[in-house]
Structure 1
Amino acid sequence: MDMNNLINENIANPHELERLFRKDPKAFKKSFPHAWEQSPDSQVLAVWYERLHFKETSNTEKAFLLQKGFLFMGLLAILAGICTRIIFHYVEQQTIAPINLAFGILPFIAAYFVYKNPPKKMVVISLAALFLISGIYLNMLPLNYKDSMILAYIHLPIFLWGLVGLAFTGNEYGEGSTRLAYLKCNLEFGILYASMAVCGMLLAGLTMRLFSFVGLNIEDFYFRNIVVFGAAALAIVAAYLVSMNLKFAKNITPYIAKIFSPLVLATLLVYLITVILVGKNPFLDRNFLIAFNGILLGVLAVTIFSITESDTDEKKTISDYINFALIVLALIIDSVALSAIVFRLSSYGITPNRLAVLGVNILIWANLIWIMLSYMRFLQNKTGPSPIQDAVTKYLPVYALWAAIVAFTFPLIF
């Protein structure tokens, strides 16, 4: 039967109209004007008319904004590539620390987010001042690899990541929903950047191979000038694509979270059982304690991203129970690691590394307790899922603050 007739016959059946649209959207859109002419008084078709018409208007506006934003993104990508290449030159000369490369990328991502979602003037000034102060402070420190300096190099990018988050959230930096959106943005950014980076590596390999056929070895030149520039510029492109709500990343991230959560849970259970059977002791083995903390951070990251990608309705799924099990497992790991750190502090004295690890483990332990209690109330039908996400988003500034404390004070204290 003709689609036009099917639409008219099912005016009183919204469910069937939706099914027809999903079955063949192109034919539905093509036939709808004829059905609308035959039944102009139908309220159901009036709603469909506005729905289809609104999509066309939205796409037109989006195309205009896309064009304008694309040019700005291209300018930022070029500037990021040039700045990163200049910084890389001084890193090679060993006149500045390698961590300075972060300043060739993160400020430009922040600039794009500020352009995309303009905040108040005070927020912009604060961002510019903090990036500037961070860069000046970092390069005033002595260029060495003592424990306190390594800690500063590790924690400063976390603080800068917090500044990018401030740029992303703009005037709504206190809202849990915008912080949650920033976490989702990070996961989508990682997927897109990795996908494009793999393509870039294949292109680089092919290019160098082709030049080798004519007797030219361009590996060193290509890496210094093309790869370094491209890696920085690609970060800006990835941020732009994520901000444009690219369907690829948004569709794949929930599946990644649901697939990796049970895999991580099963792997860690097997690993911890093996550790107990083998008799490894984080209280005495320093390297094993470091690995233990690395596992903790990995589990925390997987758990947080699983929570951010979970549904916002109040229906409980198997993923919620897996997430809860991961949180409990992470809490056990953190409790053991925390005990081992306290033991080492009391036995061997205070060092920058032990103090930094103690601080971050205490912060993680408190955050996990908060998330676990929120999850318990959700699983007991006492609350909805929003308190769980609040336990994640409201705690983010605490991590950024601790990173700032370590980066800015430890080199001076120790």
Structure 2
Amino acid sequence: MSDQNANDGGQPRFGRPRSEPTEPAEPAEHVVLEEQIDLWRGYVQRRRAISAADVDEMEDHLRGQVSDLTASGLEDEEAFLVAVKRMGNLDEVSREFAREHSDRLWKQLVLVPEEPGDGGRWRELAVVLALAVGAGIVLKVLLAATVGNELVLVRNGVFAVLPFLAGYFVWKRHVPWRVSALLVAITTAFALVVNLYPFEPGEFDGAGMTEFLAITHTPVVLWLLLGVVYAGGAWRSGARRMDFVRFTGELIIYLALIALGGMLLIGLTFGTLSLVGVDFGPVFADWLLPFCLPGALLVGAWLVEAKKNVVENIAPVLTRVFTPLTIVMLVAIFVVLLVNGPLTDVDRDLLILMDAILVLVLFLLLYSISARDPLAPPGIFDWMQLALVGAALAVDAVALTAMLTRIAEFGFTANKVAALGLNLVLLVHLAWAAWLATGFVRGRRSFGAIEHWQTQYLPVYAIWASIVVITFGPIFAFA
């Protein structure tokens, strides 16, 4: 929803169109009311059965109710609460709209515009496809230039693709040129670091440990920089950051669906052509792969933007399915680690895998928070979220102890310090999230405090990843 202004040619996200006379600024006492209506509208817009025009009509009705109630002597906040109650339960409203306009649910899944103004979506799709072809050409050239040196391709693949996705959002969000220039400069600096540092070869397919860490941490930095573009440069806005978290989760879902469909089609093609003696492998590796990978990313991003209400309704279902399963997995890991002997005997690969699991838990936590109604009271699922964070904290504490024990016995290495730093960053994030969640389920804090903490902490991951990419090479002699 954060891109609404970019889609309507500058028309305000809420309120009246530009064509009407400019109204004076809201008095200070009405600012809170406008913020409450803003939150209410955002909540309504996430009901995919309710179109934008219907939301406008409902907002007008709500404002009329508030106006009548304030005229009768109620304060703004009291009038808003009473008016919302009179509007009825939004889930019931959604079901009623679904019954009245069931065709809309299907129209959202196809490219048929509902209104004449939506014709611009075809133009947007053309821009996305052009950028996907451009990314494919760059990747194809890079692939041809690095024959026999796959490490160079792995090192630079992210720089060949992500700038085109960023270009899509620069065009869509009308990002200021100063912000774009700064992000290009930062991206260029990271490209120079990754390619010009004199890394020593090693066991990771020819890459040493510090080079491997630089390659794996650079995409984290670039993805969070992409978040600045996605937010239209307004990265300080907690709502925009949460929009980016939601976008990331929905993009992962779309990419998974695209990948499953793509693998099915490619498998059928390989099988059919092999029966007639045609080797499809070279065509796939030389042409389809370089264009399909960036194409899937860009088309997936466009689908999230164009059809976000369709997938957004899947988010609560996914989080409710995987949260209890993840809790069981974390408890099992915790028990196994405790009964498996001295922590110094824990395998290094197991510690790395535990870090990956904790990152997965963090993604699940962030996406579930982004999909939750902030106005709803605490419920059983909030207690499950608290249990999830508690289990993750227990596993993180064991992993942290094991790493410190191994460092004390075997000394510092680049991978140990990187894993230790990530665990500390995760520990702080999860510990404070658990504290806030405890206050929320006990009725002592609002859900907004939890959401605010998640969005405010995101830059810490970019800072830590930047430290790993830029400083670990010189500190550990590029080994």
Where on the TM-score scale, by shorter chain, does this alignment land: which range? 0.7 to 0.9
The 1-side partners of 2:452 and 2:184 are apart by 28
- Write the deviation string for residues 346-381 of structure 1: whole angstroms up to 9, x where unpaired: 222221111111211111111112211111111121
> In the alignment, what sits opposite 1:84?
139
1:181 aligns with 2:243: yes
CA distance in 2 between counterparts of 1:402 and 1:345 reads 20
3-state SS of 1:394 partner = helix
Distance 1:249 1:314 in 2: 21
Deviations 1:34-69 (A, max 9, x none): xxxxxxxxxxxxxxxxxxxxxxx98332x2320221
SS in 2 for 1:245: helix
Corresponding residue of 2:187: 131
2:64 paired residue number: none
1:213–1:381 distance in 2 versus 1, CA, 3 Å: same
Structure 1 residue 407, shift from structure 2 partner: 0.7
Q: CA deviation at 1:390?
A: 1.2
Shift of 1:268: 2.2
Q: Distance in 2 between matches of 1:188 and 1:20?
A: 26
Which residue identity is paired with 1:118? H
2:165 alignment counterpart = 109
* Counterpart amino acid of residue 114 in structure 1: V
- Residue 328 of structure 1 is matched in structure 2 by 390
Q: Which runs of 5+ in 1 are unaligned?
A: 1-12, 28-56
Note the alpha carbon deviations across 1:50-102, whole angstroms, 9 max, x for none. xxxxxxx98332x2320221121111010111112222334442071513111
Could you tell me how far apart the structure 1 residues matched to 2:393 and 2:87 are?
A: 49
Mapping of 1:157-196 within 5 angstroms? Answer: 157-196=219-258
Q: Over residues 260-308 of structure 1, what are the superposed CA-to-partner deviations in whole Å (9 max), with x where a residue is unaligned?
A: 111111222234334444x244433233333332332222222222222
Distance 2:97 2:184 in 1: 49
Structure with the largest fraction of helix: 1
Equivalent in 281, 284, 290 of residue 219 of structure 1: 281
Aligned residue pairs total: 371
The answer on whether the counterparts of 1:184 and 1:305 sit within 8 Å (CA) in structure 2 is yes
Displacement of 1:165 in angstroms is: 0.9
Offset of 1:23 from its aligned partner? 3.1
1:71 is matched with 126
Does structure 2 retain, via aligned residues, the 8 Å contact 1:296–1:334?
yes
Q: Does 1:23 align with 2:23?
A: no
The aligned counterpart of 1:54 is none
Q: Describe the shift of the 1:218–1:173 C-alpha distance in structure 2 as closer, same or farther (beyond 3 A).
A: same
User: In the alignment, is the contact (CA less than 8 A) between 2:210 and 2:414 conserved in 1?
Assistant: yes
Q: Pick the structure with greater CA Rg.
A: 1
SS of residue paired to 1:164 = helix
8 Å Cα contact 1:91/1:98 also seen in 2: no
Aligned to 1:150: 212
Paired amino acid for 2:352: I
One-letter amino acid matched to 2:156: N
1:283 corresponds to which residue? 344
Q: Which runs of 5+ in 2 are unaligned?
A: 1-85, 104-112, 202-206
Secondary structure, counterpart of 1:23 in structure 2: helix
Identical amino acids, percent of aligned pairs? 29
C-alpha separation in 1, matches of 2:395 and 2:147: 39
Counterpart-to-counterpart distance in 2, 1:125 and 1:265:
44
Distance in 1, Cα, partners of 2:360 & 2:102 = 45
1-structure distance, mates of 2:87, 2:318:
34
Seen in structure 2, the aligned counterparts of structure 1 residues 208 and 132 have a Cα distance that, compared at 3 Å, is same
1:313 alignment counterpart: 375
TM-score computed with the length of structure 1 as normaliser: 0.83
